[in-house]
């Protein structure tokens, strides 16, 4: 059974109302057969696109304090040591996962632990792969802490199409690996910042599956 994320319910209902209206209007007012059918097919394709974007497949996470799972579906586009300027203010190992519009856009907690920090930043809408997207785009920064890894930061970043980031993390909250952490609407990326020396289980170009695939381990 296909499930849809709660963040999409309103948009899905609106899309269905618009689609049904458009199909009926095309049938009523467009006399040219091929044009009528073209409009109706395009409307149906829009409905399918919205439905696939908000799908929320069930994922079974194997809970493990010594592993970090991918928080989102997508492609690993960055692996490098960088200076993290907002929270740690020192060098960290950055792993970035890019989500295309056809990926599942649910954000899941990469590990169990306590939410130590959660902050929203307004900003620009540069393309998600732009080098300055991490610091200039609309984004949320969340820091999780557990016994094995200490503090791990992840950042939801809006892209050129993503106009809303949903973040469920609240400071002081106890969270469970693999559960919903938020949603990014219409394509973007997530950056993770690990302690230096963290053993990665992925490489550049790998496609990862949120909530189940181990991307780092102790």
CB neighbourhood size of 125 (10 A): 17
Residue pair 217/62 in contact (Cβ under 8 Å)? The answer is: no
Give SS3 for 50.
Answer: helix
- How close are the terminal C-alpha atoms of the chain, in Å? 35
Q: Which residue in 96, 112, 134, 188 is the catalytic one?
A: 188
Tell me phi and psi for residue 102, to 5 degrees.
Answer: -90, -5
Catalytic residue flag (residue 188): yes
Residues 6+ apart with CB under 8 A from 60: 178, 212
Most distant pair of Cα atoms in the chain: their distance: 68
Tell me phi and psi for residue 100, to 5 degrees.
Answer: -85, 170
Distance CA 170, CA 116 (A): 8
| Torsion angle in degrees (nearest 10) through CA of 137, 120, 143, 212 | -70
Residues known to be catalytic = 188
């Amino acid at each position: 059974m296909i499930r849809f994320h709660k963040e999409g319910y309103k948009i899905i209902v609106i899309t269905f109302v618009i689609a049904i209206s458009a199909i009926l209007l095309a049938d009523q007012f467009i006399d040219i057969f091929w044009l009528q059918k073209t409009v109706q097919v395009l409307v149906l394709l829009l409905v399918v696109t919205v439905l696939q974007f908000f799908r929320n497949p069930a994922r079974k996470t194997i809970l493990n304090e010594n592993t970090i799972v991918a928080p989102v579906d997508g492609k690993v586009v960055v692996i490098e040591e960088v200076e993290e300027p907002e929270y740690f203010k020192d060098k960290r190992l950055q792993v970035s996962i890019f989500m295309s519009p056809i990926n599942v856009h649910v954000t899941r907690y990469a590990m169990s632990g306590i939410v130590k920090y959660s902050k929203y930043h307004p900003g620009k809408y540069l393309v998600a792969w732009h080098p300055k997207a991490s610091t200039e785009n609309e984004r949320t920064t969340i820091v999780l802490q557990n016994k094995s890894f200490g503090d791990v930061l992840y950042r939801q970043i809006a892209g050129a199409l993503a106009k809303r980031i949903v973040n469920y993390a609240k400071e002081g909250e106890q969270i469970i690996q693999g559960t919903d952490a938020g949603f990014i609407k219409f394509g973007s990326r997530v950056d993770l910042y690990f302690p230096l020396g963290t053993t990665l289980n992925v490489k550049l170009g790998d496609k990862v599956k949120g909530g189940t695939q181990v991307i780092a381990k102790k």
